Structure 1
Amino acid sequence: MRQQLYKSSERGKADFGWLKANFSFSFGNYFNPDKVQFGMLRVLNDDTIAAGMGFGTHPHDNMEIITIPLEGGLKHRDSMGNEAVVRFGEVQVMSAGTGILHSEMNPSGTEPAKTLQLWVFPEKQNVAPRYDQKSFDLKNSLNSFVNVVSPYDKNDGNALWVYQQTFFNLGVFEAGKTIEYKINIAGNGVYIFLIEGETAVSGTTLLPRDAIGITETETIELKIRQQSKILLIEIPMQQN
């Protein structure tokens, strides 16, 4: 087993007033040659967006984009004609494929929106762009992971899907629990991002917004020290 710890305090940062961002990997004006990507996971941005503000219309192509609101929501509009608000408790996916224009705005006039946005390199290039979102009830699945995103060719209909052999899992766990995660696809790595709480992953302690990347293993043990909310991403380490 190989491990790499990503401390919250060592992330890249940007403060534009209306946007306060933390970059787990190189993004925008932040570049760290040791933190460009984890396998096919290219971006994990932890954003706080002021009330009424957001990202104007901008393009993407050939990227799988996953948005997870932590507080509040974002109003999405795109060149395919989709218009929706993705809120806390929901997950949004967008396959940019051959190209898409979209905007993301905080629809609240009073409250900030806090979101995680992740970009994954796709397995298939130049697909037709697509959009989807879905609500997931983590409280009714306490102490177990809920699969929220899965591969396009391995989807059981309960999760959203993307064009990559990746599994995104969210879970809320009580203190004192021990969880074992088994790799779905041999050779995949696992990137664990602790949203809240305190958890030991294969002996390494994570505090809020810390992360750990693990490769060359078939199982991972998580010991929950304080009630925790966890994002666990299983991802190919190289393009198939």
Structure 2
Amino acid sequence: MLDDFMTRAVLAGLGLVLATGPLGAFVVWRRMAYFGDSTAHAAILGVAMSFAFAMPLYLGTLAVVVAMGLTVAWLSGRGQSSDTVLGVIAHSALALGLVAASFVPALRSDLETYLFGDILAIGRADLLWIWAGSLAVLGLILWRWQRMVTASVNEELAMASGINPSFERLILSLALAVIVAIAIRIVGALLISALLIIPAAAARGLSGTPERMAGSASVIGAIAVIAGLGASLALDSPAGPSIVVVAAAIYALSLVFYRRY
């Protein structure tokens, strides 16, 4: 039988990939990998603020990453290059978060947990946050699915259909912020974007429709979570990186399959 901590880890990972599958598909379609990476880096500042002001971890992290996403949208709309803005904000927030963490004794000794994740330390309260956040994001995606797909494929077509691409992009940014906030305890700030991008990239060559790609990305993510946790238990390796390594191996296999068939 599985130990209690391993059961919680599996449930946390499966809850997360419910949302990262379809959300990662949009990140791949819209070429927003750098945005996801930047949002994850900014999450470290949210962690430091949560510890410094005795705030709930998920709320403090969510507040910072939402503010980061809104700031990027605001600056990009005023003639600034999106890549430049993302680079400046992401690295500044990461550096500021690391500096702030050095002044918080409770976080200084546990900083590696939030950089690389510690899914094996997930508690029951964490499970509630993770599943509630993932289901909320999944519900939002399902509600806006057709509009978001249309805006991702062709913004001019979306505008002709009465869809505001900027609003759909904002919805996607907020969904990413929620996922980053709840995933930081599982895979850490440095690996969150990998869990978003790699399963979706692996599913892309194996799927014929957007819906199938989103569902396949969640399935691949679930396989990576279970196999990665098993490898971590057997090899005594870090759990978060092990999950990402398994996802990367699945991506490599998908390339071979795609080229052959």
Same fold (TM over 0.5): no
In the superposition, the TM-score normalised over structure 1's length comes to 0.26
> Which structure has the larger Rg?
2
> Normalized per residue, which structure has more strand?
1
> Normalized per residue, which structure has more helix?
2
